Structure 1
Amino acid sequence: MAAISLPPVPYDATALRPDWGELPAGLRAAVTARLGGPVAAARVATAGFTRGFAAVLETADGRRTFVKAASLAEQRHLVDWYAREAAVLDRLPAGLPVPRPRWTVAAAGWFALGLDAVDGRTPHLPWTPADLDATLTGYAEIAAALADPPPELVALGLPRLADLAREDILWWVEVAAGREPVPALPPGSRDRLPELVTLESRLPGYAERGGLAHGDLRLDNVLVDPTGRAWFCDWNWICRGPAWFDLVSLLITAHASGLDADALFAGHPATADAPPDALDVTLAALSGYLLTSAAAGPTSASPHIRTHQRWSGEQALSWLATRQGWETPQPGRLTTRQVGNRSAPRARE
């Protein structure tokens, strides 16, 4: 087995969120009315990278609802994400392992979304065979259902991954053009900037194909329930593009777990129509995106987001370097300088 690398902070301990009692009284009253009874227990989510409220709320009679909430004035981007997620989840095909929306409410200058509560946990790192098998099996079901998405879902005007790639994911080309400082790359990758630019440049063309992709498939957006079934959360980044893109972002942590991520990618049904170099192309793009995001400076998100972006970028580059036959990078020693002229990339929290 290859060497194992773990993130600096566990994925189930990255969030910094308000407690139920810290929300405005008017919002708590409105949410309580939707719940149908007073909140007897509130279990705040510890995974994720936003500062939005997120918790399983339980009433005295045992009914449980997962509630997300954000301030309209101070967290407008989160409000927009939650509203889009509600619309997406309401239109996803029936039977998929995704939480379903129950209600939305606006009160006291806040917006709240109520979802079915999934009785689950974040997968363990390093990945266990059971958790990984459940996640890959569940995603195969989702990818098959979204290969030909329902018209009502497409009608939401979902973004195209090809456009997102051109606008916000391809960053090595900015480094090569001198519009971004060159990251302090490890041995074996320091002279590979031309190859990184060439590889990432193919992503927009490849991303023109496919049905729909989750767009932000990471370990912390997966929950494994007591029966061993994997559930997929946080659908605000769904986009039109190939499902194999999701697999690359998910399997970065499989590579970090010392597993044969190449074989896991190649053997998944979502990669059946992937171009031969789709994995390398996506790893190149994601490594640049994550490493430049990590150097973007202060953020209103979790204080752990920059270190996680850096770690994830290092793992993506390590995986790519191994595949390309470059000298093996040393994850954990990669550093980046401050972002320069181009505006900081969107942080997918």
Structure 2
Amino acid sequence: MLPSCPPPVPYHATARRPAWETLPATLRAAIGDRLRAPVVAARTAGAGFTRGFAAVVTTAAGDRAFVKAAATAEQPRLVDWYAREAAILDRLPAGLPAPRPRWTLDVAGWYALCLDAVDGHTPRMPWDPAELDATLAGYAEVAAALTTPPAALVGLGLPHLADLAREDILWWGEVAAGREPTPSLPAPARDRLPELVALESRLPGYAAGATGLIHGDLRLDNVLVDPTGRAWLCDWTWLCHGPAWFDLAGLLLTAYASGLDADALFARHSAAAGAPPDALDATLAALSGYFLTTAASAPATASPHLPAHQRWSGEQSLGWLARRQGWT
């Protein structure tokens, strides 16, 4: 078992969000109207890296719901993301461990998305083995259900991981070509740029043939574990066509950082069945370049903790890859 390496800020405390009381009165009243009773309490979500409003709200009638909201003029990208997530959640197969959508509204220059509230908590690091097992089981259920995508989801025209990789994930080639500055690298990977470029370049080809759908952003902070021990997967904005092992590798970064045998967890999971022998290495190379490069250009609209978390995630990706490759 490797030593654990905690993130710079715990995942359950990374968010910087507006409080319920700061939302426009017209928006608060409209949300209450849709919930059929005034909101009397709001518990802000502590996880996440955007500055959008997100909270479990409780009404005077005792109803609980999870509401996300963003200002149309100031946060247009968030509005687009919430609208996309609403469309995706509405079309996911029933019974999956994903929050169910209730409604959306557009009022007072704000867009709001309401979901069923999940009574759960963000897993802590290092991972509790039972919570990690539950999360891996939940993802196995999701991956199996999306292997043959429902026509309603396919009809949304979702992107393909192969294209996303070429457009926005593969950064080591840009660094090697001098189009991006070289990020500070830990010692084992300092002289490995050619190998990193070669490994990450395999990802689009490996992903191109995938016909199923994947979550696309499967991380510890997008998981909630309920009192029964069931793990729920949240934040479905980035659903795309791709191989399930890509999601699995991204999730297991925090297992590696927790000192667990992430190689064994990857190898025995159903989502890794049929993966190319070096699919995990190609994914870790790509993720390391993405996180380390984008850490230097995090948007001002994001949580102030995002750059440090991206840097940490990139270092964990590189550390795991270096150990697998035998780099010293």
Shared fold by TM > 0.5? Answer: yes
Q: Check 1:86–1:178 CA distance in 2 against 1; reply closer, same or farther (3 A cut).
A: same
Counterpart in the other structure of 1:346: none
Counterpart in the other structure of 1:62: 62
Shift of 1:182: 1.6
Shift of 1:81: 0.5
Shift of 1:297: 5.2
- Structure 2: 5+ residue stretches without partners: none
Counterpart in the other structure of 2:295: 294
Counterpart in the other structure of 1:76: 76
Shift of 1:188: 2.1
> Does the CA-based 8 Å contact 2:149-2:213 persist in structure 1?
yes
Counterpart in the other structure of 1:313: 314
Moved more, 133-142 or 60-69: 60-69
Aligned equivalents of 1:185, 1:57: Cα separation in 2: 43
Counterpart in the other structure of 1:252: 253
Deviation by residue 1:236-258 (Cα, 9 ceiling, x = unmatched) = 00000011100111000000000
Aligned equivalents of 2:239, 2:280: Cα separation in 1: 20
One-letter amino acid of the structure 1 residue matched with residue 241 of structure 2: R
Aligned equivalents of 1:231, 1:298: Cα separation in 2: 28
> Does the CA-based 8 Å contact 1:124-1:131 persist in structure 2?
no
Counting matched residue pairs gives: 327
Q: How does 1:170-249 map to 2 (within 5 A)?
A: 170-210=170-210, 211-249=212-250
Shift of 1:209: 2.6
Shift of 1:298: 5.2
Shift of 1:186: 2.0
SS of structure 2 residue aligned to 1:184: coil
Shift of 1:187: 1.8
Deviation by residue 1:205-258 (Cα, 9 ceiling, x = unmatched) = 111133001000000000000000000000000000011100111000000000
> Does the CA-based 8 Å contact 1:105-1:113 persist in structure 2?
yes
Counterpart in the other structure of 1:332: none
Deviation by residue 1:271-326 (Cα, 9 ceiling, x = unmatched) = 10111100000000000000001111552110000000000000000000000001
Aligned equivalents of 2:293, 2:34: Cα separation in 1: 42
> Does the CA-based 8 Å contact 2:186-2:315 persist in structure 1?
no
Counterpart in the other structure of 1:89: 89
SS of structure 1 residue aligned to 2:186: coil
One-letter amino acid of the structure 2 residue matched with residue 296 of structure 1: S
- TM-score, normalised to structure 2, is 0.99
Aligned equivalents of 1:90, 1:8: Cα separation in 2: 35
Counterpart in the other structure of 2:39: 39
Deviation by residue 1:23-52 (Cα, 9 ceiling, x = unmatched) = 011111111100110112110101000000
Counterpart in the other structure of 1:121: 121
Counterpart in the other structure of 1:334: none
Aligned equivalents of 1:52, 1:39: Cα separation in 2: 18
Aligned equivalents of 2:244, 2:130: Cα separation in 1: 22
Counterpart in the other structure of 1:337: none
Counterpart in the other structure of 1:344: none
Moved over 6 A (4+): none
- Structure 1: 5+ residue stretches without partners: 328-349
Shift of 1:184: 2.2
Counterpart in the other structure of 1:141: 141
Q: Check 1:29–1:114 CA distance in 2 against 1; reply closer, same or farther (3 A cut).
A: same
- Note if 1:18 corresponds to 2:18: yes
Shift of 1:61: 2.3
One-letter amino acid of the structure 1 residue matched with residue 234 of structure 2: C
Aligned equivalents of 2:85, 2:190: Cα separation in 1: 40
> Does the CA-based 8 Å contact 1:120-1:223 persist in structure 2?
yes
Aligned equivalents of 1:103, 1:35: Cα separation in 2: 10
Q: CA RMSD in A?
A: 0.8
